[in-house]
Amino acid sequence: MAEKRLDTDFLDRAINYAVKAHAGTERRGKGFPYIVHPMEAMEIVSTITSDQELLAAAVLHDTVEDTDVSVEDLRKEFGSRVAGIVEEESDRFTPGISAEASWHDRKQAAIERLAKASMDAKIVAMGDKLSNMRAIARDHYRMGDELWNIFHNKDKAQHEWHYRGLAQSLRELADTEAYAEFVTLLNKVFPIGRDEMAPVKIDLADYEQSGEGGTAISYNHKDGKTMIKLYNDYMPKDVPAREYGVARAIQDMGIVTPKVGRIVTDGSRTGVEFQRISPKKSFARMMSEDPGTTQDLAVRFAKIAKELHSKQCDTTFFPNIKDFFYRVVSGDKFLTESQKTVVRNFIHSVPAAQTCLHGDLHVGNVITDGTTDYLIDNADFSFGNPLFDLGQIYLTGCVIEEPMAIYLFHMTTAQLRNWWEAFVPEYFPGDACSIRSRP
C-alpha cells in the first residue's frame, strides 16, 4: 500500500540546514555525529505534535547555541516562529546570567526560564531534555556513578536537582508519553527513596528566619527566590530525605506544589530547600479576610482535589493510607478495644484504590500567589480511596469546633460550613449528590 503523500519541504529544509550547521562535530564524548541528538529530539517532538514548524525548531534547537548560526539567520530562513522557539528554548539567552555565574545559578536560571516559556518552547525542550536523559540513563547503566566524573560538575546530587527541576518546569506535558518516559528514566538513574542525597552546606547568614514550628524553623533566602526548612536536632535523621523524596515524586507527577531544591545543612541541622512563593496566602486566610471569595475558592479547591484524585500513585514508594489509620487507631489512648475494633472494621470496609491522596487535604494547605494555586504540606501524601481525603475535608468543614476553627483556619464554623456547601456540588456535580453538612 502506497504511503500517504505529505508536503515535507519545510521540514526537509530544516533537517538539511541542521546537518550542514553541525557537520564535522561530535556529540560530546559519545563518538557519533552531533546531528544524531537534534534528530532524536525531533523524533521525540513528533510523538507530541505533527506541527512541522515545531519539528523544525526541534532539529534546529542547538544551531544557535553550538554553531555560527544566529537567531536572525533562522528567522530569514524559517520564519519568526521557528527562530523565536529556538531562542526561547536555548539556555544561551537566559537574561541576567553571565558566563562567570556558578553552575548551580546558571541551571537554576534556565529552569525558571523554561517554567515561564511558551508551550511551543516546552514541547521542543521536551525533545531535547528527554534525548539527554536517555543518554544519561544509557551511560549510567554502563558506568554506574562513575558517570558523574566525566562532567564539569561531578556532584550527582546537583545533576539530580537539575533534572528534577526540568521535570517540574515541563509538568504541563505530564500527559504525554515523552514526559512519562523522562520521569521513568529520571527515577531509574536517581531512585526515589533508595539513594540518600548528601546535604549541601549553606551559610545561614544568607537567610532570614521567617517562621517556627514544633518540628522545624523556616528561613527565607535574601534573594527572595528560595526558602529552607531546617528540622530541629531531635527530629529523626531520615525526615529531611523523606520530605525531599516525597516532594520530588509529587512534582514528577505534574502536581503543582512549590518546587523542591536541595537537601541542605547549616552544619548542625538538616532540612530541605523549596521555591519561595511570594506573595502568598492560603485559601483559608483569603476566605477569612473576604467571605465573598468562598464560592470561587470552593471551585478552585474542587478542581485541585479532582485532579489529584484522578492520578494513580506509585504504590512502591508512597504508603497505603489505611496502614496510617490502623497505626493511629492502635496507638490511641482514649478508645476502648471494642471501639478500636469498630474503627478498624470500618477502615477495612473502605474499597481499596491506588489513587493519589494528600493525606491532610484542607483549605489551609492550598496557597496561591494570585496566579497559581499550590498544594503544600505534603508529608502525608499516600495512596488509597479518595473518601479518606474527602473525610478530612468534611471534618474541617463541618465537624471542627469553633475555637479550633479560628485557631487553625482563621474562620468560624459557620464560614467553614458555607465553604463545604459550596465545595460539594463542584466536586460531585449533578443532581445525584446528596452529601451535605450535618444539621
For residue 306, the domain's CATH number is 3.90.1200.10
**Which among 43, 51, 66, 377 is annotated as catalytic?**
66
Same domain, yes or no: 45 and 150: yes
Q: How far apart, in whole angstroms, are the C-alpha atoms of residue 341 and residue 326? A: 10
Residue 99 lies in a domain: yes
* Banded pLDDT at 333 (limits 50, 70, 90): confident
Is the pLDDT score of 310 beyond 50? yes
Residue 437 lies in a domain: no
Same domain, yes or no: 16 and 138: yes
Residue 29 lies in a domain: yes
Q: How far apart, in whole angstroms, are the C-alpha atoms of residue 55 and residue 11? A: 7
β-bridge pairing 382-384 and 200-201: unpaired
Is 401 catalytic? The answer is no
**Which among 65, 73, 112, 155 is annotated as catalytic?**
65
- Degrees (nearest 5) of the Cα angle 429, 434, 437? 105
Same domain, yes or no: 44 and 109: yes
Is the pLDDT score of 100 beyond 70? no
Same domain, yes or no: 220 and 305: no
**pLDDT of the residue at 74:** 95
255 lies in which domain range? Answer: 200-275
Is 68 catalytic? The answer is no
141 near 226, Cβ under 8 Å?
no
Same domain, yes or no: 164 and 292: no
What is the value of pTM for the model shown?
0.57
Q: How far apart, in whole angstroms, are the C-alpha atoms of residue 228 and residue 208? A: 10
Q: How far apart, in whole angstroms, are the C-alpha atoms of residue 377 and residue 360? A: 8
Same domain, yes or no: 24 and 149: yes
Residues near 181 by Cβ (< 8 Å), separated by ≥ 6?
Answer: 130
Closest CA to 418 of 294, 296, 303: 294
Same domain, yes or no: 92 and 118: yes
Number of folded domains in the chain? 3
Task: At 299, give phi and psi (nearest 5°).
Answer: -65, -45
Q: What is the CATH number of the domain that holds 184?
A: 1.10.3210.10
* Banded pLDDT at 193 (limits 50, 70, 90): low
Is the pLDDT score of 432 beyond 50? no
Torsion angle defined by CA atoms of residues 175, 180, 186 and 187, in that order, rounded to the nearest 10 degrees: 100
Mean pLDDT to the nearest integer, 157-182: 86
Cell numbers given for 429: 456535580
Same domain, yes or no: 180 and 211: no
* Banded pLDDT at 318 (limits 50, 70, 90): confident
Closest CA to 312 of 356, 342, 271, 372: 356
Q: Can you say how many angstroms the Cα of residue 228 is from the centroid of all Cα atoms in its chain?
A: 17
Same domain, yes or no: 300 and 423: yes
User: What b/e readout covers 142-163, taking b as 16+ CB neighbours within 10 angstroms?
Assistant: eeeeebbeeeeeeebbbbbbbb
Same domain, yes or no: 184 and 204: no
Residue 158 lies in a domain: yes
Q: What is the CATH number of the domain that holds 245?
A: 3.30.200.20
Same domain, yes or no: 52 and 83: yes
Same domain, yes or no: 208 and 222: yes
Mean pLDDT to the nearest integer, 162-187: 86
